[in-house]
Amino acid sequence: DVKVTQSSRYLVKRTGEKVFLECVQDMDHENMFWYRQDPGLGLRLIYFSYDVKMKEKGDIPEGYSVSREKKERFSLILESASTNQTSMYLCASSLLAGAYEQYFGPGTRLTVT
Amino acid sequence: AQKVTQAQTEISVVEKEDVTLDCVYETRDTTYYLFWYKQPPSGELVFLIRRNSFDEQNEISGRYSWNFQKSTSSFNFTITASQVVDSAVYFCALSEADSNSGYALNFGKGTSLLVTP
């Protein structure tokens, strides 16, 4: 079975802190994605990566950056956390684009105070 | 513009009732993919089904069935004889071949299903 793990289930940070959210997948998938989920807004794409060191902006990249140094790991970085970044963050991976389903990690609920 | 619309925000049914979750999508692509995911209270999204735009056959998997109709741009999901364990938020999603977002999923806002004993 595909396994996508995220470094933390719950995280509390202070405004202005630099925050790292880590995601690891164990199925040699090409594509990896970061979404955030907010009540009433559903899931929105922040960034995605289709190869090592490659990244593309999604719908809401402002305030975030990403890093993919190894195929299995995709990190989301909040350079200076703000309260409006309090959210559930979901990582996903897929073998290839389009025709293949994405597998999701358990999510990280981030609270910025 | 919203590409996937799930008009039902919340649905409550009594166990053993049948329930249909609606999904309407919008795309100009001729090649696209539709998905349903389940998000139980634990939070992890679970993949249920994928359909490509060239396959309009309905699908049945146990108590779950899906009705894909290109003429109405709909991909509805029916649970037959619902059970308490079906309580979750269900998301419909669209992936477009011509998207510049790496085939990322465009999600609807989800339908929260509550099944009571």
Identify the pLDDT of residue B108: 94
Cα B65 to the center of its chain, rounded Å: 10
Which tokens sit at B101? 């977002």
**Which chain A residue's Cα is nearest to B52?**
A99
Using the predicted structure, report yes or no on whether residue B31 has a pLDDT greater than 90: no
What residues in B contact A97, CB-CB < 8 Å? 95, 102-103
What are the angstrom distances between the C-alpha of A59 and each of A24, A33, A36, A44, A56?
22, 12, 11, 7, 10
Please state, as a whole number, how many other Cβ atoms lie within 10 Å of the Cβ of residue A28. Answer: 10
Provide the pLDDT confidence category of residue B34 given band limits of 50, 70 and 90. Answer: very high
Per-residue pLDDT of chain A (113 residues; tens, 9 = 90+): 668 999 999 999 999 999 999 999 998 999 999 999 998 888 999 999 988 988 989 889 999 999 999 999 999 999 999 999 999 999 999 887 666 788 999 999 999 99
**pLDDT, tens only, B40-58:** 988 889 999 999 898 888 8
| Beta-carbon pairs below 8 A across chains A and B | 64
Pinpoint the alpha helices (H) of chain A: none
Rounded to whole angstroms, the Cα distance separating A84 from A109 reads 13
Contact flag A88-B47 (C-beta cutoff 8 Å): no
What residues in B contact A88, CB-CB < 8 Å? 43
**Which chain A residue's Cα is nearest to B40?**
A106
CB A110 within 8 A of CB A96: no
